[in-house]
Amino acid sequence: MYKQIAAELLAKSLNKSAEEIEEQMERPKQLQHGDYAFPCFALAKEKRQAPQIIAAELANDLSHDVFSGITARGGYVNFKLDKQIAGSRVLRSIHQQRERYGSAAVGQGQVVAIDLSSPNIAKPFSMGHLRSTVIGNSISLLLEKQGYEVVRINHVGDWGTQFGKLMCAYEKWGEEAKVRSNTIPELLKLYIRFHEEAANDEQLEQEGREWFRKLEQGDAYANKLWRWFRDASMEEFERVYQLMGVRFDSDAGEAFYNDKMERVIEELEQKKLLSWSEGAQVVRLDEQELPPSLIKKKDGATLYATRDLAAAIYRKETYGFSESLYVVGHEQSLHFRQLKLVLKKMGYEWADGISHLSFGMVLQDGKKMSTRKGKLVLLDKVLKQAIQLAAANIAKKNPELADKEEVARQVGVGAVLFHDLKHERIRDIEFSLEDMLRVEGETGPYVQYTHARACTLLTKAGDIRCDSEVAAAIAADAWPILSLLMQFPEAVADAIANHDPSRIAKYVIDLAQAFNSYYGKVRILDEDDDLGARLAIVKAVAIVLAEGLRLLGIAAPKQM
């Protein structure tokens, strides 16, 4: 709000648009220099003056009652907010709006379809699928905060040659009783064994392909095995999703589109977009200097591209999305570029609303985790270890805590989720259980503990009324907190614009650190004239920390 006021003042003086000015505005690195800064360097050539002179002239001309000072410093125009006015206004807004603070209606009436998580059936839920799940879930929550209707889609990998290989392995080495009692781990062992044996036996690969061909042709036994593997996998996945608090509106996987691909192929033929290449059918993308999109293989089998074209068209017709987001690793970037271009060639202008939100990998010893080689870390085990550690900390530090098991779950799961989400979406993450489970520093438990501390202070204060009119006597100590509270709506908008939840994770860390610094300097519950104002700050921090954690898909316990 105040940044917009500063931008409008500058825009009027410079005869430019406020939106253009606001994009150029920055926050000074030192809070004492001001709350907003406008760099004048780009104006130097246009005005044929030194940036320092332009800044000085602008600062001299501008004024507004919400700013206690507008000054020039080294080619910047710095805007310093009136602490009393701005501080009391932000506290009033947070107290009145509570969890709605930072919300907007920009997405009202618009639907966003988001493809996230998408694990492969008959394989354990590994750390490799954590990123898509938690990033996609957080982006969904952020979009909903701006008024969008979000359709969460779990496009599970439940079709393909790998299932023929698994069926082949089960028939050769599987024991039904073992697999039924411990389905996913036993299937994983069979899958790994298949690839170990196939390295020395070329015939095995052919047998795997034969089994998948049976499945495609509707063989009753192959279909029975596939259904068993899928149902057991979905049950296992749902248990993990519930633990993390993640939900979906659709779990229509790859197999769902089996009867929807022929329409796509016929449409491509009618529009004369298919070409032959080495016996396969493709859509050429030469004009974009990209390799062709492979639609049908020599043997008539369809591919990911065919399936994803059918899925995109189905989702548009079913949900009427304005945007369709795919939270999938960066190694699939070419595939999604091709998907979008083929849809455009088919005449679907809505393909402009498709975005691939790529992300970095979870690495182990600098290498990608591999199910095929058995090199993976199971998410279920990591979550359980995190919960056990949280429970041990509670037993040691607060054994009388009510709902100990639930709080341990919230803190343990929060630690794992926050460790992922605090990293920028596009960066790779090195898996480290030790770092993930730390409860100090830039971690989820640290933010949760700060929220619980604020809630405890409010409980101890009892019926004492919060006063959102910030007294001048405490403004200096509290200003770093108040300044950050004002930035929450910007942080939300920034996270959505960049589809990057790490912006929210960094924000709640900064707010938690500012509050703990304040807590260390000020006796908050001292009964003096400023007690109501201090409690107003504590209450606002508790509200915003809880909402920031919620947008990351993390719970905010009131006691720890």
* pLDDT over threshold 70, residue 375: no
Considering the entire predicted model, what is its pTM? 0.92
User: What pLDDT is recorded for position 128?
Assistant: 75
Long-range contacts of 225-232 (CB under 8 A, 24+ apart): 225/167, 225/170, 226/158, 226/163, 226/167, 229/121, 229/122, 229/163, 229/166, 229/183, 229/187, 230/121, 230/122, 230/158, 230/255, 232/122, 232/183, 232/184
* pLDDT over threshold 70, residue 474: no
The structural architecture, per CATH, of the domain 382-551 is: Orthogonal Bundle (1.10)
H or E element, residue 311: helix 304-319
Kindly report, as residue ranges, where domains of CATH 1.10.730.10 are found in the chain: 382-551
Average pLDDT of the residues in 366-388: 76
CATH number belonging to domain 112-251+309-368: 3.40.50.620
Beta bridge partners of 152: 114
Confidence bin at 30 (pLDDT 50/70/90): confident
Superfamily of domain 2-81 in the CATH hierarchy? Arginyl tRNA synthetase N-terminal domain (3.30.1360.70)
CA distance 468 to 33: 25
What is the rounded average pLDDT for all residues in the chain? 92
Kindly report, as residue ranges, where domains of CATH 3.30.1360.70 are found in the chain: 2-81
Beta bridge partners of 265: none
User: What pLDDT is recorded for position 371?
Assistant: 53
User: What pLDDT is recorded for position 434?
Assistant: 77
Look at the block and give the residue holding tokens 């082949």: 168
